Structure 1
Amino acid sequence: MPFETLNQVIQDADKFPHEFDPKNPDEVHHTIPFRMHPHIVGRVLPSVVARLIEYNQAQSTPPFEIVEGSHVSFAYWVNNFDQRTQVMKDLLDTWREMKTFNVLAGWRNEKFPVFGDATREDNTAFVVERAGAPLFGISQFGAHLNAFVRDTDGSIKMWVARRSRTKQTWPGMLDNCVAGGVAWQQTTRETIVRECNEEASIPHEIAEQARNAGAVTYFTYTHHGLVPETQYVYDLQLPLGVTPTPQDGEVECFYLWSLDQVRETLLNGEWKPNCALVMIDFLMRHSIITADTEPDYIDLTYRLHRRLEFPTPRKQIITGKPLTAPAPFAAATANANVNANTSTNTTAASTATVL
């Protein structure tokens, strides 16, 4: 779907209402909070609440407290990490077996952390199967990489991924060069380094040079459920001639595009919505979009950093390994085992292995 403005591009991703309208029949206006007192850790649609009530009533000891029109929470006896994690696992396993919600057909066997009390050193309240998170409007966290080059004239060109046409979600759409969810007990940097290798064949020694450049936040919804997300943004300048190459079937091909081409495709609606936000953020940080050239500049800034109501991770160093500043990039590129491409074309593509 083409857009007239970049503001519309952002609104397409950040479309959960900022204020609820009780007269609006759309059920997104009638969610109730998933509480871990005093925190809200998610939001639940009425259609999910109805099935949760059925499940709760079928248990000899109901694991949830449900007050219709008010809130959902764990029962008083579900009061630690292991118990909360097990209760959510049992529920989602049952719903998956019974095919209660279509979203669970995309089961990933990935555990995502859910955060609670920010005064705790590690405020992970429980973990949940990634596919089930939208049913409870649980905040998810990812890491996205902008891989770019500086041409001989100093201009920036961006490596853009096209998603595999066999993917369950957003097949064939444009995407950031590398992206992935931040799983339990992983840091954002570990996520980027892993995905660089798996999705783009970028070796560890180069991927380690990626620089954390901020985050974008938004709250969207699909037919699968509610998706509040935070995407940690990384930038990585690749040397001219280094070509990301698809490896795991997630990506069909990569293009090396001018930023004018990137902006054109954003307005054409060719990007996966959340990845479009990451790209707009890059264009603003690198002064391609400026306050003097973009009439909605301030609004874009606000919309890229929506304040979400859910707790966030208090500490990223989950593995206990100290973070160190990236070494100089030149040292890493000396041993880079990548496919060199000396072509001066503005686009490059590689065929992916189809799943």
Structure 2
Amino acid sequence: MRCPPLDARSYLKNYDFRYRITTELKMSKIFKLAHTFNCFYLTEIKTRKCLPFFVGGFQVGLLQQHVITQLLRYPQVFHIHDSYVELNPAFRDYNERSEQVDRVLRELRDEKAFITLKGWREECYEVRTKYACKSLMKMERSATCLFGIKKYGVYINGYVRHPTKGLCIWLQQRSSTKQTWPDKWDNLVGGGLSVGYGIFETAHKEANEEASIPPELLKNLINIGTISFFYKCERGLFPNTEFVFDLELPLDFIPSNQDGEVQNFQLLTADECLEKVLTPEFKLTSVPVVFDFFIRHGIINAETEPNYVELIEMLHVPLQTMYNNVLPNCTVNNSTLCEMKPENNIVH
């Protein structure tokens, strides 16, 4: 008995179903985890449920509807349109924009309007269209995920070449008092790029504070590139780009914490480290850095990972070209903005 022919719509629907089923069956634990830390990029960004957020005529973020609902209370600061949200264009410079938004955020924090603001840091991130462009304003770190602001950080893979165990990796366990991801296992060193700090400056500062790595060892620090991903959770949206460093450490080096943000350290073999990374005990947004390290050192390769090529793509989501919208009334184009000398993003 012949099956009746499918029209185009039915065919595409069934094809999509078969593709999803096949993909799910072929997914390894590693690839499933990559889908998790890229959940917004792979699914929700296509639905266009979020509205673009503009500052100075340039798109710098995305806003979910529950955030927009709160911003409607501040019409003097945020102009809500049908298809986008704009910071009041009357705020003409960096300081005025930053102060006006900070005033609103502090009020929302005091009202306990958003769970993410419980982790208020009194630490700010720059708000830019791209990393190389001039900053348009600064924003409290804990609030940036409400606006889908691109965030930048630094990670250091600390590793040892053990004579009998081979490649071993140092991990830290985050303090139980951390505002985010308490008690989770993490890379040896990591930290966000705060206002006023460059990439290498942040790497050295965090290496000293988190693991007491002395300056003479940091001379061997190698900047190997970046990873990027777009994650979403109950706190907000995280379009993150991380500047990644490798640091080979001597066998007799034992890390120790100075800032109270780490409760434990472990030196694990590559297999032990990968096993821990694939559990809920590990900080999800640090997983891409470990995957990248294992790919570069051949631990994860085309023979062991069926989705090897796709996995590499998912560690480099094109965030720098993602927010390209410019309002018609903007008098400065994006390329000109990026030609302007950045104030606080100089690499030291």
Asked if Structure 1 and Structure 2 have the same fold, meaning a TM-score greater than 0.5 normalized by the shorter chain, the answer is yes
Measure the CA separation in 2 of the matches of 1:90 and 1:166.
27
Question: Which structure 1 segments of 5+ residues have no match?
Answer: 57-61, 324-355
Task: Give the structure with the larger helix fraction.
Answer: 2
Does the 8 Å CA contact 2:55/2:89 hold for their aligned counterparts?
no
Alpha-carbon distance change, 215 to 204 in structure 1, aligned in 2, over 3 angstroms: same
Aligned match of 1:45: 64
Q: Deviations over 1:202-245 (max 9, x none)?
A: 12332343111111111111211111111111111111110111
Aligned match of 1:304: 315
Offset at 1:154? 8.4
Aligned pairs for 1:160-239 (under 5 A) are 160-239=171-250
Larger mean CA deviation between 249-258 and 71-80 belongs to 71-80
Does the 8 Å CA contact 2:156/2:203 hold for their aligned counterparts?
yes
Kindly report the root-mean-square deviation, in angstroms, between the aligned alpha carbons of the 2 structures.
Answer: 2.7
Aligned match of 1:114: 127
Alpha-carbon distance change, 306 to 21 in structure 1, aligned in 2, over 3 angstroms: closer
Alignment of 1:147 with 2:169, yes or no, is no
Aligned match of 2:81: 67
Measure the CA separation in 1 of the matches of 2:257 and 2:323.
35
Aligned match of 2:50: 31
Runs (4 or more) in structure 1 with deviation over 3 Å come to: 17-22, 36-39, 310-323
Does the 8 Å CA contact 2:56/2:92 hold for their aligned counterparts?
no
Aligned pairs for 1:184-333 (under 5 A) are 184-308=195-319, 309-310=322-323
Aligned match of 1:346: none
Aligned match of 1:347: none
Offset at 1:318? 5.6
Offset at 1:201? 1.3
Aligned match of 2:4: none
Q: Deviations over 1:50-81 (max 9, x none)?
A: 1101122xxxxx1222113x111122212221
Aligned match of 1:5: 29
Alpha-carbon distance change, 266 to 154 in structure 1, aligned in 2, over 3 angstroms: closer
Offset at 1:291? 1.7
Give the alignment's TM-score, normalised by structure 2: 0.81
Does the 8 Å CA contact 1:139/1:228 hold for their aligned counterparts?
yes
Does the 8 Å CA contact 1:164/1:251 hold for their aligned counterparts?
yes
Measure the CA separation in 1 of the matches of 2:73 and 2:346.
44
Offset at 1:267? 2.3
Measure the CA separation in 2 of the matches of 1:74 and 1:306.
27
Alpha-carbon distance change, 228 to 319 in structure 1, aligned in 2, over 3 angstroms: closer
% identical aligned pairs: 32
Q: Deviations over 1:281-337 (max 9, x none)?
A: 0000111111232211001101111112147996998669885xxxxxxxxxxxxxx
Measure the CA separation in 1 of the matches of 2:102 and 2:63.
17
Give the alignment's TM-score, normalised by structure 1: 0.80
Q: Deviations over 1:98-143 (max 9, x none)?
A: 322222121101110011378xx85111101101111111111110
One-letter code of the match for 1:83?
A: E
Does the 8 Å CA contact 1:39/1:117 hold for their aligned counterparts?
no
Offset at 1:155? 2.2
Alignment of 1:78 with 2:120, yes or no, is no
SS of 1:100's equivalent? Answer: coil
One-letter code of the match for 1:221?
A: K
Does the 8 Å CA contact 2:169/2:267 hold for their aligned counterparts?
yes
One-letter code of the match for 1:72?
A: V
Equivalent pairs counted in the alignment come to: 308
Does the 8 Å CA contact 2:154/2:243 hold for their aligned counterparts?
yes
